[in-house]
A and B are shown apart, each in its own frame.
Chain A
Amino acid sequence: MVKLLGAMLQGSLVSLEIFFLTLVFALPLALPVALGRMSASRLLRVPVNLYILVMRGTPLILQILFVYFAPYYLFEASYDRFTAVIVAFTINYAAYFAEIYRGGIQSIAKGQYEAAKVLGFTRADTFFRIVLPQVVKRILPASANEVITLVKDTALAQTIGVAELFRVAQNASARQFSTTPIFVAGVFYFVMNWAVSELFLRAERKLEYYS
C-alpha cells in the first residue's frame, strides 16, 4: 500500500507538471489569439478562427496523437513524449482561454474606451490598465471551469505513454486485480481540484472590492 501511494504521488507530480506548464504557456498565448479573433483584418481573423474551430471541434486525445506522431510520419523525426503532451495541451487550452478572454473583453462597456481616449491614454495603457484588470474579474468563474477541466484532462497524456497519475493507477489496478487504485486516483484529482476551486474563490473575493 505504501509502495502504491508512493508510485501514485510520483504520477501526480507528472500530472501537476503537465497542469502547470500548460497554464504557464496557454494563459499568455490565449491573449494574442483572442485579439486576433477580434481583429479587423480578415487576414488575421480567418486563420485564428480556423485554429479555434479545429481545437474545439476535435478530441484532445486525437490532437495529442497528432502532435506526437505527425512529425514522425512527415519527417521521420521523433521527439520527447512529454514535450508533445505540453505542446498539444497548450494549443488546445489556449483556444478555449482565448474565447473566454474574448467574452470578457467584449463585455467591457464602450464608454470605458471612450473615457480613456478622451483622457489621452495610449491604446496600450487603455488595454492593460483600464480594460484588462476589469476583464480578469469577469472571466474568473469561466476560467475556473476550464482550469478544473485541465486537471482532469491531464489523464489523456497516457495516450502517448506518459506515466501520469491515472496511468499509474490503472497499472497498479491491473497488477492487483483491484479497482482500489483507480478510486484512490479519483481522490487525488478531487483534492487537486478542491485546491483550484479554493484559489479561484479567493481571487474572486479579492476582487470583490468593486463592481
Chain B
Amino acid sequence: MYSVIHGIVLAVACLVVIVPLGYLIINSIKLPREFLTIPPTILPTEVTFEHYQDLIDDKKTVRYFQNSLTVSVWTTGVTILTGTLAAYGLARMRLSAKILALVTFIFLFIRFYPRVTTVIPFFLVMRQLDLLDTVWAIIIGQLGITIPFVTWLMLVVFQDLPSEIEEAAIVDGASVWQRFSRVVLPIVMPSVSAAAILTAFLSWNEFLIASSVARRKASVLSIAVASFVSDKGIQWGPMAAMSVVMIVPMIVFALFAQKYLIRGITFGAVKG
C-alpha cells in the first residue's frame, strides 16, 4: 500500500515537471501559427525544425555556446575548489564563534547584495582591469555569487562531520592536505556534487552580470534567450528551441555529477 502511494506521488511530481518541459519541446518544433490556438495545439499538425536550423546556421549561436561553456566550466571549477577549501579551512581553524560568524556574514552579505545596484561600479572595475567584453569579467562577477554560497554550504557540512574521523589520520601524521583530500573529501562528496550541480546551473543561466559587462564578443546563451523577448512581442519558436539547446548540456552534467553523488553516498556508508 505504502509503495503504491509512493509511486503515485512520484509519478505526479514527474508529470508536473515533464508536461511543461514537453510543451517547451513541442513549441520548438511548432509552426508560428499554432502558438496561440484555442484550445492549445498539443500535437502540431506539421513538425518543423526550422527554429533549430536557424540556430545552427547562425554563427553567433556557436560563439555564445562556447562562451557559456567557458564561463560555466571556470566558474564551477574555481568555485568548488576555492569554496570547499575555504570552508574546510574555516571549519578547522578553531576560530572563536564570533569571528567565524563575522567572516561568514561578510561572505553572505556580498552574496546577497542586489547585483542591480553594483552593475555600474562593477563595470568600472572591469574597465579598469581592461576585462570588458571578456568571459573573465563574467566569471569574476559570478564568482562573487557562487563562492560565498558554496563556502557556507560546505562549512555547515564540515562542522557536522564528527571529529573522530580525522583523529586517526592526525595520529598517523597526515598533513592537512592529506587529511582533507584522502579522508574528508570522499565523505562529503555528495554535498560537493550537489554544490557543483547548483553552481553550474546558476552560472549557465546567469543573465544580469553577463549582460552588463559582455555584450559583443563575450555574449552568452542566457542573453540570447532573453533577446527573443522584444518590445513588440515574443518569438516563441526560436526561444523554445534555444531553451532546449541550453538545457541539454546541463542534463548531461547533472547525470555525470549525480554519479559522483551516488558514489560519495556509498563510500560514506562503507566508511561510516
Is B a genuine binding partner of A?
A: no
